[in-house]
Amino acid sequence: MNKKQSISTLTALAVATTMAFGANSTGLKDNMPFKLGVAVSNAQINDIANGRKTQALDLIKRNFNQVVAENAMKDQPLQPIEGHFDFDAADAFVDWSNKNGMKTMGHVLLWHSQLPGWFTRGDNGELCSREKLLDRMENHIKTVVTHFKGRVAGWDVVNEAVEGDGSYRRSDFYKILGEEFIDYAFKFAHEADPDCELWYNDYGNESAKKNETIASIVRRLKSKGMRIDGVGLQTHIRIDSPSIESYENAINLFVAEGVKVAITEMDISVLPSAWGLTAEVSTKVEYREKLNPWPDGNLPPEVDKQLGERYAEWFRMFRRHAASIDRVTVWGLSDSSSWLNDFPVPGRTDYPLLVTRDMKLKPWTKSL
């Protein structure tokens, strides 16, 4: 082999290696039959916007090939005051993720939470008229979708419109427009960008009743010839519940409606359930301590092992449905930044994610 030949052999090898391991070198994403995603926090987006290089951003690039902003693209941050859009943080995030070749999802166009007060109300706090709400929805959705056109692969168009008992959530949107607020939201999004994926997203899919209503939304939109690409199952679960079968049933149900599914916000809380807490003030401290059993940031090895096994079981189920699953996204990078540390009880120490507080991949992530 002459020098020229050996250089071209080396170049070919380098290209093949890059292709095999992905542009951002090997990590968890390279072992998955679907995209592996992570929600990016406001603090991380701030680092991106300021050009800071951090361990967190390196970990994200190496291990994930799909991202979504945990908060920065919700209605409140994007249009805090009617008519005043602020895209700075979101633009920095989306440009960064596009540059790094990650599938970028938009979260969220219409959600009853993190919604600025002006959106559904009049000057005196009363519900606004039907026409006013439709006008505001159309303006917000079209402005936002158009702004990110070609840079965001898809949007959660509507989030959490259905209750656990299968009824529609009595949100302001619902009170003013009825269930058709969902149809309007999908219509406006599609008109703004016909190429954009449109998703419905919700939590608590262990409820068959909830899933039935979501499936009926999919059917309704499809029967009107409208676009809906998939249903997102948030998957905020616990170490001991719900059952994997209940989620597998949900996946089968939605797939039978002819749409894709995605696991959009996965985390597994290891802390005791706080629901049913007494309101009796004198018992508060005792309850707080009981509810926060591992406050020093060290999870006992046997609980960590249980957590790893629970993640592995769920990923085995996801792998079985890989042909229908667009992505599996975890709701935050490391335990220190999880929303679960402050919800529903503020100031706890939870361990729900794939990366430890000292920014190391948990050893059991190798088995996912």
Active site residues: 160, 265
367 makes contact with ligand 9MR (CB under 6 A): no
Residue 267 interacts with ligand 9MR (CB under 6 A): yes or no: no
265 near ligand 9MR, judged by CB under 6 A? yes
- As measured in angstroms, the least distance from the Cβ of 144 to ligand 9MR is 15
For tokens 């072992």, name the residue: 31
- Residue 298 is a binding residue for ligand 9MR (CB under 6 A): no
- For 180-229, give the DSSP string: HHHHHHHHHHHHH-TTSEEEEEES-TT-HHHHHHHHHHHHHHHHTT----
d(CA 295, CA 261): 36
Q: How far apart are CA 177 and CA 321, in angstroms?
A: 36
**Which CB atom, from 10 or from 43, has the smaller least distance to ligand 9MR?**
43
Q: Does 344 bind ligand 9MR (CB under 6 A)?
A: no
d(CA 138, CA 87): 18
Residue 114 binds ligand 9MR (CB under 6 A) = yes
Neighbours of 83 (CB within 10 A): 9
Among residues 182, 176, 81, 76, which one has the least CA distance to residue 127? Answer: 176
Residues 135-174 that bind ligand 9MR (CB under 6 A): 159
- Is residue 71 within the footprint of ligand 9MR (CB under 6 A)? yes
Residue 70 CB, nearest approach to ligand 9MR (Å)? 5
Please count the residues of the chain: 368
The torsion angles phi and psi of 50, rounded to 5 degrees, stand at: -95, 10
Binds ligand 9MR (CB under 6 A): choice among 47, 70, 206, 304: 70
**Looking at this protein, which amino acid is placed at residue 142?**
K
Residue 199 CB contacts under 8 Å (≥ 6 apart), including other chains? 105, 154, 155, 156, 157, 228, 229, 230, 231, 232, 262, 264
Give 24 or 202: the residue with its C-beta nearer to ligand 9MR.
Answer: 202
Instruction: Give the residue with the Cβ less far from ligand 9MR, 24 or 157.
Output: 157
Q: Does 339 engage in binding with ligand 9MR (CB under 6 A)? A: yes
Neighbours of 273 (CB within 10 A): 12
Rank residues 86 and 289 by Cβ distance to ligand 9MR and give the closer one. Answer: 86
- Widest Cα–Cα separation across the chain: 84
* Nearest distance, CB of residue 260 and ligand 9MR, angstroms: 19
**287 is an interface residue for ligand 9MR by CB under 6 A:** no
113 binds ligand 9MR (CB under 6 A): yes
Closest-CB residue for ligand 9MR? 339
* Tokens encoding 364: 């059991």
- Applying the rule CB under 6 A, the residues between 221 and 240 that interact with ligand 9MR are 234
> Closer to ligand 9MR at the Cβ: 211 or 234?
234
Question: 105 vs 62, 73, 351, CA distance in Å?
Answer: 18, 10, 25
Q: Which is nearer to ligand 9MR, 70 or 326 (CB)?
A: 70
Least distance (Å) from ligand 9MR to the CB of residue 23? 28
| Contact set with ligand 9MR (CB under 6 A) | 70-71, 113-114, 159, 234, 265, 339
